[in-house]
Structures are given as C-alpha cells and as structure tokens.
Structure 1
Amino acid sequence: MKKFFVLPFFLILFLCLCSIPKSYAKEASIDTKVKNGHFILKVNEKGDKYKFFKNGEPVYEGSSSKVSGDISMVGDKYKIGIFQNDKLKKVVTLNVPNDLQQETPNSFEGSYAEDLMAYQIQKGHLNIVADTESVELSWDELPDKDGIYEVYRDDQKIGETKNREFTDNNVKSGERYNYSIQVRIDPSLPEQKEIEKKIQELGSNLSEEEKSEIMSVEGSLSAVVDLPENKESYLESKDSILDDVTNNDNFSVQGKLPKDNMKGWDYKTFIPYKSVADPKPEFKKTYLKGDNRGFSDTSNKIRTQALVNTQFHSPTSITLYKKVGQSARCSDPDCKKVIARKTASSAGIKLYINSKKSDYLHWTVTHAVGIPFADYYPKIDYSYNVILTKGMASISGKHDKAPNHEFYLSAPSASKSTTIYRYAVKSKDDFWNLWFWAPKKSWKTELF
C-alpha cells in the first residue's frame, strides 16, 4: 500500500529558515537578486546603452545597467543588449524564476530521504545566464551524499563541482542545450534493511554496487536554454522555446490555429534491450520482449505513452491521449519463440486538470501500468506536474528507475522536438528495481 503524507512541519520550517535570496558572484556577467517576487538585474559588462526585453517585450532602453521590478507568476525570460558607440556589443539572455511558492503538489510518497529529495527538487531552480560564447549556471542547494554536484549537458557529463555554480565555455551561438545538475543521497538504515530483506526474499544475487544503485535516492534539476545570437533582430524578436513567431498568414493545418498555440507533451516508457529476463517467471526461465531502441521522439515502439495536447485558446484545452504497447513473453532471449502476448490496461494513466485559463495551464499526469501476465507483477509508476504560461514552463516529476523514460515537447511550428527529460537504465539488472520498493527518482525541468 502506498503511503501519502506531508513533509514534517519542522523540516519545512528548517528549509525556509535556511533559504537565502538568490544572489550570484559579482564577477558573473549579470548580478541577479530575487526576493519575495521582486527582482534586481545589474549588467557588469561596460556599455554606454542597454536594452532590456522581458518575454519578448521591451521594458527599458537607456544608459543604466540596472533594472528592477516584479516577476511574473512562474518566471520570466530576459534578453539584454549591451551597446557601445551605438553598436551592439553583446546579447545576453537569462531566466528569472519567481521565488514565491508555486502551485506544486504538497503531498509525497515514499521514504523520508525520497520525500526530502522530491521537496528540494520541486522548489529548486537552475538559473541560466547565456551569451554567444558561454553559459553560466547557478542553482539552489540540493541534498547530496558527497557534496559534489555533477553537471550534465544533453545527457553527457561535462564537469563536477562542490560550488553551486558552473560555467560552460564549450558552446555555440544559436544552439539549444539541456543542462542538469545530478545529485544522490542514501535512504535511512532501516529503509536500507527493508530493501535488503526484499532482495534476499526474491533470491537475487546482486553485487554490493548494484544494491547501492537500487537504494540510491536520486534527483536532477534541469533547464533548457537557447544560446543567443549577436544580432539586433534576435534581441528584438519574440523567439523562445515556448513562443514561436507567428503572423496572421502563418497557420497550422488543424483548425487553422496559430502555430504557437498548439503544444504536444509526449511522455513515453520503453525497454531499450531486445529482451530482459522475466523478473518472476511462473515455471522456468523466460524473457520479456523489449523495444530494442534508443531515445527517439518519433519511435512508436513503446511500453506506454501519455501524450497531452494543450491550447491556450480556440479553445482553451488540456487533452490526454494514452497508449499501451503489447507485451510478449518468450522462451529465449532473442524472443524467436513467443509464449504469450497480452496488452495491459491503460486505465492506470490519468490526467488531472488543476487550472485551465487562456494564459495559464496547470495539469498532472499519474501512471501505474503493470506487466499484464499476472497480478503479482509490480506496476511501473511515475507522475509529473506542469505549470505553463505563454513564456515559461515548470515541469517536475518522479518515476521508478526502470524502464527508460523520455519526455518531449513538440509544436506544429517547430522543426524538431525539444527534450524535456530522459532517464536510461544502466543495465538489464536495473529491472529488479521494480520489485524492491526502490526509491523513485525526482526531477525538474524549466523552459524559458
């Protein structure tokens, strides 16, 4: 039975008392201070004129290198032009998240360590300051076993640090990157003993390293960023990940809706191998057929798919389309001889609409779908929550550490999908995670 409870009051109080207004080192290209929904931006690079754009709209032009004001409900994207002798010297972009409490789930499930990780990830932000040559990252404090934050770009590790800041100088103007900070902690000793007991009951011969991986409480904090171009046309455009340029003649085929109005949020699970050992065969050694593929936003080889289509207007809507792939049980690892085929019910994939307005959408998807050959098989569980405005999206979730998970954002106007989140199992043995009440991984991605 799943347990649902709110983090203890003393823990929330402790985290609130320990939080510090976001402020970054003076040597950064831009100093950012955020407190109680109010911000101050100060550009440190010298110029004789500055132009500030907020979510594609001009907010200031003049000799001052500093602006201040209130932040939108979820956050804002700023483009800043630095001019010298009436010529554009540099374009800098940054995200400014709102530090006030957002509409996020206030109940959790799992162990104390798992709930602590989920809470910190949900409330955290990965802050981005980017120009044509570098990306400066800074983030809120996160729980981590050894205090070393691992930094990833597009699923590849690019560094690690004990500080809460990192600069990537190996970037190209005009490219899109997905940055993430990866952390992990151990569950409590009683929780470790419970997992160890379950491993022994199932007769698994996992190594100590594999047991450590199963017990690990993992988290990732991410942001997707478009590197700017040093052009006034880019500075003054409304181009962003969520807001494509449109005009009255630029319509999609479906219902003649503006292209920037339609979004598809596609979450899929799949088994990357040709097959995996059946974790609990009834009579003898058997195998479950896999999808035998890598990450792909277009593949239809899936275990499950939850596609949410959204529109802000014409009409305002949030709609779920769900699909479950057929499962096959085989007598050989190549699955040349199939013993049984069956498709699990999609009833465990559910959509909850929290808010549906013409400028603000908020929804939650939950997922609990099992292997359909017997009731004793564990279900694959995940959930995610999206807060969406026309200029920003905050997406957070939790999932089992098997099988692979992938989440993409697409739009009729976009030439390709944007990767929101990906998770890959490390080996075929990771599918034992589903049996051991292993902690779920918590994650968050912000799009500006």
Structure 2
Amino acid sequence: MTNFAADTRKNLVLFLLTRGLGAFAAQMLDVAMGWHVYTATGSAMSLGLIGLAQFLPLLLLLHWSGRASDRYDRRKISAFAALGQGGASLAVFAVAAFSAPIWLIYPALFALGSARAFSGPANSSLLPEIVAKAEFPRAIAMSVTVFQAATIAGPALGGLLFALIGIKVFFLCAVLAASSALMVLAIRRPGADVAREDLNADEKSALAGLRYIWSNKVVLGAISLDLFAVLLGGVTALLPIYAHDILHVGPAGMGVLRAGPAFGAIAVSLLLTAFPLRRRVGPKMFACVAGYGVATIVFALSTNFALSLAALAALGGCDVVSMVVRQTLVQLATPNEMRGRVAAVNFLFIGASNQLGEFESGFAAALLGAVGAALFGGVGTLVVVAVWAVLFPHLRKADAIGA
C-alpha cells in the first residue's frame, strides 16, 4: 500500500512536470508566433488563420486520436506527440530563419495541431489512471495550477526573449517540447486498471464519444457552455493588435498581456486546490462564465495597460472555474475504456473554443476592428449564458460535483 501511494505521488509529480513543460513551450511559441505574423503582415485575418490551422487537425483526426488513446499506451502517445510538437516548432523556426513566404508557417501549424490532437486525449485520459477517484478534483486543480503557472511564465518570457533574440525563441520552444517526452515516459505504467475491454466495432468508433456526451445533458451543457462562451469571448488572437496599435507596449508587453488571464487563473486554481468545489457547482459555473463576458467587455473598451491586464486576469479567474467543473465532470463520469474517445471529443470542443475562436476573432476584427470584435464577443458571451441557463436547467441547478 505504501509503495502504491509512493508510486502515485511520483507519477503525479511527473505528470505535472510534463504538463507544465509542454504548456510552457506551447505558450512561448504562441506569443512569439503571433507577434511575428502580425508584424510581417499587419493583417488581423492572418492572426485568425493561426487558430484555424491548428483547429482543423483536431476535427480531421478525431476518428483516430481518441481510439489511439484507448487502444495504446497513453504515455507513449503523449511522448510521440511531444516530439511532433517539437518538430513543428522547428519547422516554424526554419520558415522564419530562411525568410520564406509567411504562408508556409500555416502547414507547420497544421502539423503542430496534429500533434496536439493526440496529446490532448492521451494526457487527459492518463491522469485518472494514476490518481484515486477521491483525490481527482484536487489533482485536476493542481494540474490547472501548473498549466496556468506555465501560461504566466511562457508568454511573458516568450515576449521578452523575442524582443531580445528574435526568431531563435522558436528553436528553444522545439527543444523544450521534445524534452517533455522524456518525463512522460518516466511515468510508471499503471497496473490492472489500464486494461482495455474488447470493444465491438460500434463502440470503437469516435461516434461513441459523441453519443456518450449527447446522452449526458449535464456534461453536454458544461462542454457546450464553455465552447460558445470562449469561442465568442476569447481575445487571444487580438492581443498583437492591442499591444501594437492600441496600448503601444511592444512584444514584451504583449507577452505580459498574454499571461494576464493566467494571473487570475492561477490564483483561483490555487484556491480550488485548497478548497475544492463541492456544492452549488452549477450556479457558480454560470456566474463565472457571465463574469468572463463582463471582463471581455472591459478589456475591449480599455486603452490603459494596467486596466487591460486586470480585465484579462479577471477573465482568466472566471474561466478556470468552468475548466475545473468541465474536466471533473467529463473524466470522472467516463469509463476508463472510453476516456480516450470522450477526451478527444472534449479536446475538439476546447480546440473549437480556443483555436477556432482565434479565427472568429481575426475574421470579426477584419470586419469590425479589434475593439468592435472584442466588444461583440463579450456581449455574445452574456447572451450564451442566458440561453444555456434555459436550455440546461439541470446544469444550472447542479449541486454536488461528483453526483
């Protein structure tokens, strides 16, 4: 029993280190890439295409990414995906280093999205195997805390390094991403719980994950609420425009802005680690998503760097509550042999809200301007909250997170 507990702690530490290092590299890459593309093109649509190029693989590979996680060793899938992310980052560096046409960066981003399509379900499905169910909400909060810490340090350091060493930061991202593969392979393979059942052909389909989510209205409501709120209210793609044209703070300032949501998110996730969500999770989730919309509106109208940063921090703090509720609902309620496919669908929804949301923001900014696009997103988020409160009353009234 003692050895089992020790292995669990070691595995959790290795998992958190893997997640943190991978997220750190990804955030550094994203902020440097956004600044590089916008300064090279001056186009809001070019920023939106960054998100679209990374989202399409999530959709196109959905049939295989979840099934792979349910069939093969999730540690190895995560390691191969980390190497793929490193290779894609190296391709971005090559495009920038050789002054190739800027459009060549998008195939590299498609490759990056392909690697992430497999890493998301594998990492998400691995955590329940190495943590006891009773401790899982706390482990999720710890994972979110590590992720948000990386989301603070990654963009801030990425923006600063881009200002100091330029495109060499892309090469550094490649090295860090590949290094995380070694950590995940050091996780000890789980025991009997990892055995997969012999599923029939229908259950092996990626549609099984979709059917499961559709049949559970509370899970469906939680995932779709987050999807449409972030899809409309996300302002990540607009940060290069705000940093360059509105706030005039340069790439280092953009890195701080990009880390802004994580400042609020890590404060809330630390609070949730000490005091996990137990009761009235539905009303709290809806209130926080509404707060996300209000914070987006404040950011849209701000021309002051400190106020903009505070609005982004509030936005991130509100979002982390929805993230913890959604991840806990999805992972605890799903049988182990189906977690890969359900996680793949959930990851597709997350990608739709983040990467596809970046495309929506870029497209809206091309039509309405950056301020108009951000304002439209914030108001749209509030509308989504009102509609979802009517469509999903069981989620709105949900009390205990484990029920």
Q: Same fold (TM over 0.5)?
A: no
Max radius of gyration: which structure? 1
Give the TM-score, by structure 1 length: 0.26
Higher-strand-fraction structure: 1
